[in-house]
Each structure stands twice: as C-alpha cells, then as structure tokens.
Amino acid sequence: MADALNIAIIQSNLVWENAVQNRINFQAKIEAIVEVVDLIVLPEMFTSGFNMDAEAIAETMQGETVAWMQDLAKQKQVAIVGSIAVLENAKYYNRLLFVKPNGEIIQYDKRHSFSLAGEDKVFTSGTKKVIIEYKGWSICPQVCYDLRFPVWARNTENYDVLLYVANWPKQRIAAWDALLKARAIENMTYCIGVNRVGLDGNSFQYPGHSAVYDVLGEKLTNDNNGKEITEIVTLNKSHIEKNRRHLGFLNDKDAFNLTV
C-alpha cells in the first residue's frame, strides 16, 4: 500500500470527431511527463469531444483507442483513465476506462445521461457504481453530469478518491467549481475533476477549471483556467486517515438503499 499517489491531470483542447489526432496529441503530452506518476487523468470523450453523433465516433472495446491506452499504460507503467464513446451489443455507452499498467481494464458507464443535450436519447445509462482498487487506494470514477447527483457519489464504500472526467461548458462553470469542492467535503475524500478547454464542434466554449481538492475542501491545484496544462498532484493516505479519525463526519452519515 502506497501512502502517496501521484496524479497527473491533463487539461487539453480536443479535436472534434478526430480520434487519431486526439490520440497523437495526448501521447505527446503523456510522453512529456518526466516526473514519476501513478495515474494520468484525461477528459470525458477525449477522442471526440462531447458529441451525440455516436455512430460517427463510437469504437468497440477491441478498437484502436482501447489498444492505445493499454499499450501506453504498459509502456509508461502508469494507469490511464478517461472516457470514450463505445459501441457494445448494439448499444452506445459513454464509458470511462481505467487502464492499469498491466493492461487490465476496469470500466464505468456514465450513470446520469445529460438530457439537456439529448445524451439520454443516444447513449445507454450505466447501472453500476464502480470502486477501483489500485496501489492500495480505492477510487470511485464518475463522468461529468454525475457530479450533480450527490447520492450516487455518497461515500458508503469508504473510498479514498472521487474522480470526475468532464466536458463542462463555460456558462455553468461556477457549478463545476462549487460541486467538486462540495463532493470532497461531504465525502471526506480527495476529489479530482478534469475538464477540457477550447471550442467544440457545436460552438460551446470550455474553460477548464480542472482541480483537485483534499478532504477538507482545500484546493491543491493552480488556477490554469482556459489553458492546456499538465499538472501533477500528490495525494497522501495519511491526510485522509488523520482527518477521518479526528473529525469522524462519515460516521454520522445517513443510511439508505439506492435503486437504479
């Protein structure tokens, strides 16, 4: 079990509906990381931008992007996480892929489809909350719109890290900032949110605001808003254990059963 977990967050522009170019761009950014990191976090739909033309952008689990993630994770001996559009059994999913250094894939299908953009009409919602065990850390991965639903994220599993990948637009970025911090505080967990920057094919602007918060809601990252950045943050298990033991807020949480 590692007390420290080194996270690299990559806040990037995305090339609309161009998986090949996006893979090239992210490979260059990943290759440029010289520090030792355990996990690299990419945005939501990092091969295409947030796009409802599933037929044009979706790949299978045997497709080029999954193979690219596995090859790069093995080569760099690092875990890589991000979401892509996936076609499986004649259905489309906004699927987060957590690829471990040995090539093992753990997947999470976005639970809350963004109905404002018609995502619920195109993509099938996931039904399972996922907890990933990695290097002695428990990580709960979620995708973008899931951030607005605190019951789905409630820390009933005693996880250590809550992780969001997103395409969150400029006009609602205040909500992103507030909710990331709130999810960290209410769950006494590190909370990571990685958003994109730039203009997409539907003329929506994305300002970034990628961030990492600790269990008390303190922001650990810089304010690199609107820029392409790679930032590395170290998470410490002792910080979680000390504050949970001292404050004990999770001991008083409500008990409930969630139906999906």
Q: Hey, where are the domains in the chain?
A: 4-252
Domain 4-252 CATH superfamily: Carbon-nitrogen hydrolase (3.60.110.10)
User: How far is 257 from 219, CA to CA, in rounded Å?
Assistant: 31
Task: List, for residues 125-166, the tens digit of each pLDDT value.
Answer: 999 999 999 999 999 999 999 999 999 999 999 999 999 999
Contacts of residue 28, defined as CB under 8 A and 6 or more positions apart, other chains included, come to none
Task: List, for residues 94-125, the tens digit of each pLDDT value.
Answer: 999 999 999 999 999 999 999 999 999 999 99
Closest CA to 139 of 93, 181, 80: 80
Contacts of residue 112, defined as CB under 8 A and 6 or more positions apart, other chains included, come to 125, 145, 146, 148, 149, 152
Catalytic residue list: 44, 110, 144
The secondary structure element, H or E, covering residue 163 is strand 161-165
pTM: 0.97
Predicted pLDDT at 140: 98
Provide the Cα torsion 87, 89, 90, 92; round to 10°: -40
Percent of the chain with pLDDT over 70: 100
The Cα-based distances of 5 to 22, 29, 115, 249 in angstroms read 26, 20, 35, 24
User: How far is 109 from 86, CA to CA, in rounded Å?
Assistant: 10
